[in-house]
Chain A
Amino acid sequence: MSHRELDDMLGTKWRKPSFVPNPLLRWVLILGFIAYLIAAFMTIDVNWSRVYDGLDRGGQFIMAFAKPDFVSRAGDIWSGLLESIVMTVAASVVGILISIPIGLGAARNIAPMPIYLICRGIVAISRALQEIIVAILLVAIFGFGPLAGFLTLSFATIGFLSKLLAEDIESMDRVQAEAIRASGARWTQWINYGVQPQVMPRLVGLSMYRIDINFRESAILGLVGAGGIGATLNTAFDRYEYDTAAAILLLIIGIVMALEYLSGIIRARVQ
């Protein structure tokens, strides 16, 4: 800061510097934002009397968390939950196994150009389509049941895991891999001893995280008929059986928390 500016500023009150320094841009952003908010609120028609009526039911639902009903639909809850867990485990295993070769292929520093493009294409398609839309299409093709859910979750796992694995391989230490290659290793040995030890901790961490996501997603696949606890939950809402719905939600939250805790321990061990 020059002396001239300092002299000018002496005696005047200090003002907090703005987040967006350019005043013109700042005012355009603020005014545009306000105009958007007004336009958005104009087009949302909220039926306030319906909302007011619903508050009562909302209160009932919150009260239901205090006394969740695990018992009266125990059979449905148990079979739905088991199906969700089965889908999660099977889809995670298959998804991880498939995403390792695709992840290798999508890493620019170890894959030749044509393979790189194909693998990146698979990753892009898998990431752009949401699970629930994939599930709708697969249910239409393969029929109702956990097979469609299993395929959906496997497909979604591939996009997630391959992309992050490929990014990890691209940022690995080249020196170690080169040293293995200099010892005369074959391609498979090079991958196994030069690349794999470097990316393994992150791969394990990401896989645990993906299992966690897969379980959460498996809870909604039932809404479109792809198996799991979602169908039971949907029925409970439709019948206004809030205590059963609360029980299912508490079970989902509990399992997700347990998985997160477990993956925290495993990640701490491998890193």
Chain B
Amino acid sequence: MLKRWLPAMAVLTALLPMSVLAMTGEEVMKKAQAAFLYPGKDFKARVTMKLIAKDGGERVRELVMLRKNFGAPGGEQKYFMVFFKPADVKDMSFMTYKYPAKDDDRWMFIPAVNMVKRIAAQDKRSSFVGSDFTYEDVSGRDIEDDSHAIEREEKVGGRDCYVVKSTPKAGDADFGHKLTWVDKASFLPLREDQFDRKGAAYKLFTADEVAVVKTHPTVIRRTMKNQQTGHRTEAVYANSDYEVGIEDSLFSERFLRQPPRKWLD
């Protein structure tokens, strides 16, 4: 019985890449999440964001970003950020406890009034530091919030990709659906097309430069462009590094007020 089918199956497998048969859209996105947001035990980078208006006007955001995993990919994470630029926000610091399927906890230290304030995180789709990236674009969106389907396969910059269509299950997102081009080899998202709820092109994410850091392929340059306003944000992750030994105790109000020097270079 099986033998009769074997030649046909051999032809099929030769024609189609193995992985299509093996993976669903959701699995691709899970792997992408792990590769993009969860590699290593911890991660550190000096992030410079250029917020560029349509007419070329530029603003700069510069910060150190520290991230530590507290579980498997898709699980809990903590982020710690300290700002350098613009000048008047120097020494402001920001901390997020990120939980799967639950609102984040966020705190901010405001040096001018020497105050740590907890910030309600009701909208993960709001802008991160005034850039075109949302909080979710920076730290990830729950896989379960969307339904995912592989639309097709396509090359991006010479690399084979899955094109996954993700549609939010609830109507709370600012986008109606998005297409993600996930690199078959590294599982990094190389491009993401967000469409608004009316189906018009909305935001476009591109991974502009990928480098291997301590065995982890890492997107060290990325752009998010709002195609409706023409505004875009270019982010460079300099000095990216993994396994740097971030202590659990860093993620506290005490260090938010007084971040340890060693993490600030």
The finding on whether chains A and B are genuine partners in a shared complex, rather than unrelated, reads no
